[in-house]
Amino acid sequence: MTTNYVTTADGVRIFYKDWGHGTPIVFSHGWPLSADDWDAQMMFFLAQGYRVIAHDRRGHGRSSQVSDGHDMDHYADDLAAVVDHLGLLGAIHIGHSTGGGEVVRYLARHGQGRAAKAVLMAAVPPLMVRTDANSGGLPKEVFDDFQRNTATDRAQFYLDIAKGPFYGYNRPGAQPKDGIIANWWRQGMQGSVKAHYDGVVAFSQTDFTEDLKRIAIPVLVQHGDDDQVVPYANSAPRTAELLPNGTLITYPGFPHGMPTTHAEQINADILAFIRS
């Protein structure tokens, strides 16, 4: 097992983990977390004989806390820097939430020559914010609140997200796990408040419609229909329709944080997709 950094063209140090051998699987995490959010997936696929790689997005986790570049183009370029640095070929790219947008922009912006398949999990594409052309999106005021709370009361705001909608712990009959909540909060607080503040605009206002149309490789779209962070109806079905080679799996009752709460099912479906 190794932990390393790659320096991007604009001087940002990106932390990454690179474990194992075999076909590479590259993981892109959600807002405002880090590569650590992929523990359940990295350990599972490592045991299945895959090489697993996950990086901390700029301003997140252990990567440089720079003041700028917190947009999807830079996120995609940083991912490309990791892929190029490691010389990856035939990679499987898996992105959760904001990381799903990062994967989509990377494949559209940098080409698919080094990639074999992709998985978009509870991902933000095609577009989260409501516009005249996207009437099913969330009002911009929702994301303005995200920014305001991040800037002024981040510690409590992050705790409330983890205890509530992210894992569906606010649903009747849910059984919250203190360790999962604490780990989400730990990851969030490890990153830069500036990166997280700017990142809200990146994940909510970036339109991935044209990017999705350009992705020719097979893509698995996974989404829970009880996702309270990235609502299902305006995301996964539309993404799957826009992808030339997309397959949609809808999980009844699964929350946004399903890679953690339902890791066994999620991992099994990804493995089947990779092997197909």
Torsion, CA 119, CA 123, CA 127, CA 130, rounded to 10: 160
Residues belonging to the chain:
276
pLDDT tens digits for 151-171? Answer: 999 999 999 999 999 999 999
- Look up 196 and say whether it is catalytic: no
**pTM score, whole prediction:** 0.97
CA torsion 160→150→30→120, rounded to 10°?
Answer: 90
67 is catalytic: no
Exactly one of 18, 36, 78, 227 is catalytic; name it: 227
Q: Which of 28, 97, 204, 235 is catalytic?
A: 97
* 227 is annotated as an active-site residue: yes
Q: How confident is the model at residue 2 (pLDDT cuts 50, 70, 90)?
A: low
pLDDT tens readout for residues 182-227: 999 999 999 999 999 999 999 999 999 999 999 999 999 999 999 9
Indicate if the pLDDT at residue 126 is higher than 80. Answer: yes
Which of the residues 60, 74, 196, 256 is marked catalytic? 256
Q: Between the CA of residue 270 and those of 93, 222, 232, what are the distances in Å?
A: 11, 9, 19
Integer CA distances (angstroms), 94 to 80, 145, 188, in order: 14, 28, 20
Measured distance CA(24)–CA(115) in Å, rounded: 10
User: What is the distance between the terminal CA atoms of the chain, rounded to a whole angstrom?
Assistant: 28
Structural element, H or E, at residue 27:
strand 24-28
CA distance linking residue 234 with residue 126, whole number of Å:
8
